[in-house]
């Protein structure tokens, strides 16, 4: 047991999918995994282990934002030995040619969070994904015929941003979308020497105001989930 997870050591697989929404974790476990066991319900932050095509995989909700996600990612790696961690999240697009329901592979993440900056005063730590997982995810997605986008995302501490000009400026510098967890996943993966990847599906378009429903965010986006499951099974 760790502070926020009630699993016994050995009950969590080395490969873990990380949705922000714990009910998306339940949906993934029930829809895609076999022989599934729920190992965590502390704070309702559901976690499951099962198999996908014979490979052991876990799926753990992280909550919203980097402070929450960092707790689960830290404990999964430090207390349970997770080695491959793939976030399966939603995001808001900030490019006109990125469309609702597109799947993005976050190559790297800019952030307005102080969590990482405070570790290296005066330096900017490069928050990058695992090349191995990025390459595998790209191959899997391309084989499935998906038009994946690969590029930078913004991991923001703020959902209802009051500095939209900065977000728009990041868009002008090629950032594809805004979400709230990738940067800390990439930082902690580098810190602990494990592999981290963030996949996000576009749920909102910040430039056009288009949106998907909360039900869709919880129980669809299957392309992204299959890419993540095939990537950790490759």
Ligand X SMILES: O=P(O)(O)O[C@H]1O[C@H](CO)[C@@H](O)[C@H]1O
Report, as residue numbers or ranges, the catalytic residues: 204
Extended beta strands in the chain, E state: 15-18, 34-40, 47-52, 55-60, 84-93, 103-111, 149-155, 177-179, 195-205
The maximal CA–CA distance of the chain, rounded, in angstroms, is: 48
Residue with Cβ nearer ligand X (33 or 200): 200
By the 10 Å C-beta count (0-12 exposed, 13-18 middle, 19+ buried), 209 is classed as: exposed
* Binding site partner of 178, from ligand URA, ligand X, none, Cβ cut-off 5-8 A by kind: ligand URA
For ligand X, the binding residues in 84-113 under the rule CB under 6 A are 89-90
| DSSP string across 79-144 | TT---EEEEEEEEEE-STTS-TT-EEEEEEEEE--HHHHTTSTT-----B--HHHHHHHHHHHHHT
Residue 183 as a binder of ligand URA (CB under 6 A): the answer is: no
The interaxial angle of helices 22-32 and 222-233, nearest 10 deg, is 70
Could you tell me which stretch among 7-15, 90-98, 108-116, 128-136 binds ligand URA (CB under 6 A)?
90-98
Query: Quick one: DSSP state of residue 211?
Result: B
156 to 195: interface string for ligand X, x by CB under 6 A: ---x-------------------xxx--------------
CB of 77 to ligand URA, least distance (A): 23
6 to 25: interface string for ligand X, x by CB under 6 A: -------------xxx----
* Binding site partner of 223, from ligand X, ligand URA, none, Cβ cut-off 5-8 A by kind: none
Q: Are 157 and 180 in contact (CB under 8 A)?
A: yes
Q: Is 117 among the annotated ligand-binding positions?
A: no
* Binding site partner of 92, from ligand URA, ligand X, none, Cβ cut-off 5-8 A by kind: ligand URA
Q: Which of 70, 85, 91, 105 binds ligand URA (CB under 6 A)?
A: 91
Tell me the β-bridge partners of 137: none
CB of 127 to ligand X, least distance (A): 14
Strand 55-60 to 15-18 pairing = parallel
Tell me the β-bridge partners of 38: 48
Which residues make up the interface to ligand X (CB under 6 A)? 19-21, 64, 89-90, 159, 179-181, 217
Which residues make up the interface to ligand URA (CB under 6 A)? 90-92, 159, 178-180, 203-204, 206
Please state the residue numbers annotated as binding site. 4, 20, 24, 43, 87-90, 179-181, 203-204
């Amino acid at each position: 047991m760790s502070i926020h997870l009630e699993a016994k050591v050995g009950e969590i697989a080395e490969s873990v999918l990380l949705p922000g929404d714990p009910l998306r974790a339940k949906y993934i476990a029930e829809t895609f995994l076999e022989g599934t066991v729920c190992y965590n319900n502390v704070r309702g932050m559901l976690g499951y282990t099962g198999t996908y095509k014979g490979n052991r995989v876990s799926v753990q909700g992280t909550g919203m934002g980097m402070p929450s996600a960092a707790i689960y990612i830290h404990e999964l790696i430090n207390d349970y030995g997770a080695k491959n961690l793939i976030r399966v999240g939603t995001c808001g697009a900030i490019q006109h040619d990125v469309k609702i329901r597109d799947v993005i592979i976050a190559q790297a993440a800019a952030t307005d969070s102080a969590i990482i900056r405070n570790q290296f005063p005066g330096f900017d730590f490069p928050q990058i994904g695992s090349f191995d997982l990025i390459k595998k995810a790209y191959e899997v997605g391309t084989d499935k015929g998906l038009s994946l986008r690969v590029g930078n995302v913004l991991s923001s501490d703020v959902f209802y941003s009051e500095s939209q000009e900065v977000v728009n400026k990041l868009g002008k510098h090629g950032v594809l979308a805004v979400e709230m967890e990738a940067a800390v996943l990439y930082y902690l993966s580098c810190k602990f020497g494990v592999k981290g990847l963030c996949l996000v599906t576009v749920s909102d378009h910040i430039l056009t105001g288009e949106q998907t429903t909360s039900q869709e965010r919880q129980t669809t986006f299957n392309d992204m989930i299959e890419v993540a499951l095939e990537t950790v099974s490759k």
